[in-house]
Amino acid sequence: MPIYVELARLWQSEGRSVPGLPDPVWESLAASVTSEAQAPPGSTDAGITSTA
């Protein structure tokens, strides 16, 4: 595994994603999608309207 360890260190130093470690870019993207999907304060239907 010495080659992988060296490669993982290089990727980390360049700010790249490394398998098995948290990815800040992915986490920020996922957080923005989650926050957009949440209902605004005081809303009960999360922006979904019924046609029934």
Give residue-wise pLDDT tens across range 1-52.
788 999 999 999 998 989 888 888 888 988 887 666 665 666 555 555 555 5
Residues near 50 by beta carbon (within 8 Å), at least 6 away in sequence: none
pLDDT value for 11: 93
pLDDT value for 37: 64
pLDDT value for 8: 93
Q: What is the DSSP letter of 20?
A: T
pLDDT value for 33: 75
- Give the span between the Cα atoms of 23 and 36, in whole angstroms: 20
CB of 37 within 8 A of CB of 46? yes
pLDDT value for 9: 94
Element (H, E) at 11: helix 2-13
